Homo-oligomer: A and B are copies of this chain.
Amino acid sequence: MTDRVESYIEENQPRFIEELKEFMRFPSVSAQRAHDGDTRACAEWLVAHLARLGFDAQLVDVGGQPIVRAAAKGKASRRAVIYGHYDVQPEDPLDEWKTPPFEPTIRDGILYGRGATDDKGQLFAHVKAVESLLATEGQLPCEVVFLIEGEEESGGDALPRYIEQAQAELACDAVIVSDSTMYDANTPAITNGLRGILAFEFTVKGPNSDVHSGAYGGAVANPAMVVVQMLAACVSPEGKVLVPHFYDDVAPLEDWEREGFGKLAFDDGALARELEVPRLHGEPGYSTLERLWARPTFEINGIFGGYQGQRSKTIIPAGATAKISIRLVPHQDPAKVRDAVFAHLRAVCPDTVRLEIPYSAMSPPVLFDVNTPVIRAAEEALRQGFGREPAFIRCGGSIPVVSTFVEQLQCPVVLMGFGLDSDRPHGPNEHFSLDSFRRGTKAAAHLLRTI
């Protein structure tokens, strides 16, 4: 990388950060209809920003939240698609935020706010990388197409549908995704495997309204207790999923990867201290990294039913709901797992209540071959941008669009994350290191020159 690009990135940091804060001020919460206006306003801001940099930028509306598409030609005819998402998770629990989620605030070189790391900060590193290349070299080293969606956090399908429609015009040599993590604050990483996801909720309905637990307790099924019994029939106290056939297609870890995980010397105690839990927990027989990266899970994301106020209200609730996310690993098939889980829930639900499963969303797990030129170019770009040797890791999370890219565009996908799990991407006080933002911008610029 020329010193001019690196210097430009260094010199313009204060403005880059102010612009990122502007981007983060939009409460673009795609899961909540009340924020639809904010979400669209955020997309429009991005279009205007990319247009000012010289991109042919536009909103693409295929139903759902709009997609930002922006293209600029380059010196070479090679073409990179840079993916990101401008939508964010809901901000609750609001009272646990030290500073408001949509008022980005810097403390000790860390930028706090919803979307800081997931994904506005990481995406914006690429936006500022192209600006820096254009400003110092007059044109981009290759053609760049930004494809930035607004439904990543809500399981929408606008982008997958668009990619399918526009498959031919999106053909490219590589897709670059920065919506994942480094291994730790000092070790940049390329993610070669992602867990898939199956997310759904189910509701158990009992009496037609809340009823007195004295007058009716013992006569009628308690929907909250039924939800409890159903969930206990899905997962053992030890953390083993009890759904029949759940583990059937789980691929055992290959030796080189298990050894690689081992060498990363993951510190269980440090994670327990970070989360302030007495000790870690998970499926017996696997190390923490194996459980996080190569084993499926069944998690309750939310559970609710009945009285939630102060002290007591002695009722049997009319209904209760659980929101579930299941993380999938190669080679589990999401639809097959969904069918197995729903069949199990229906089987264990007693006939004293009514069961509803109003929706589900899913995306398959992915696993990449690491021995490709594009991946090796990314390895070198990270080495230069961060001045450190990158690691190959997997990610416990899911980036549903990655499997769409793999299937529809049939090109290499580079997962080059600048965040950390400890950035609290879906929790209160989400944050992003400004150091990683600066280094990530450099790595992103370098990658476009060598891709």
Contact = CB atoms under 8 A, between A and B. Distances in A.
A301 B292 contact: no
Interface stretch (A99-107, A229-237, A256-264): A229-237
B428 A327 contact: no
A211 B32 contact: no
* Contact residues on A (Cβ < 8 Å of other chain), bracket: 35 or more
B301 A314 contact: yes
Interface string A213-238: 11111111110110111011101010
B292 A302 contact: no
A44 interface: no
Contacts of A425: 212, 215
A349 to B, nearest CB: 10
Interface stretch (A1-9, A85-93, A371-379, A406-414): A85-93
A29 to B, nearest CB: 9
Given A229-B237, A327-B213, A281 B220 contact: yes
Given A301-B313, A398-B214, A426-B212, A278 B219 contact: no
A57 to B, nearest CB: 29
A278 B92 contact: no
A39 to B, nearest CB: 14
A230 B28 CA distance: 38
Interface stretch (A14-22, A67-75, A352-360): A352-360
Interface string A289-314: 00110010101111111111111111
A330 interface: no
A181 interface: yes
A101 to B, nearest CB: 13
A105 B26 CA distance: 46
Given A209-B427, A215-B397, A218-B291, A313 B302 contact: yes
A195 interface: yes
A275 interface: yes
Contacts of A197: 214, 314
A305 B309 contact: no
Contacts of A281: 219-221, 350, 352
Interface string A385-403: 0000000000111100000
A160 interface: no
A419 to B, nearest CB: 9
Contacts of A421: 212, 215-216
A316 interface: yes
A210 B206 CA distance: 30
Contact of A219 (B232, B292, B427): B292
Contacts of A279: 351-352
Interface in A397-451: 397-398, 421, 424-429
Given A218-B327, A280-B219, A396-B217, A211 B310 contact: no
Interface in A156-214: 181, 195, 197, 199, 201, 206-214
A291 B219 contact: yes
Which of A154, A220, A271, A429 has the most CB atoms of chain B within a 10 A radius of its CB? Answer: A220
Interface of A: 31-33, 89-90, 92-93, 96, 154-155, 181, 195, 197, 199, 201, 206-222, 224-225, 227-229, 231-233, 235, 237, 239, 271-272, 275-283, 288, 291-292, 295, 297, 299-318, 320-323, 325, 327, 348, 350-354, 359, 361, 395-398, 421, 424-429
17 contacts: A93-B318, A155-B311, A201-B311, A206-B275, A209-B428, A212-B421, A212-B425, A220-B275, A220-B281, A222-B299, A224-B302, A229-B232, A278-B353, A300-B317, A301-B316, A304-B308, A312-B325
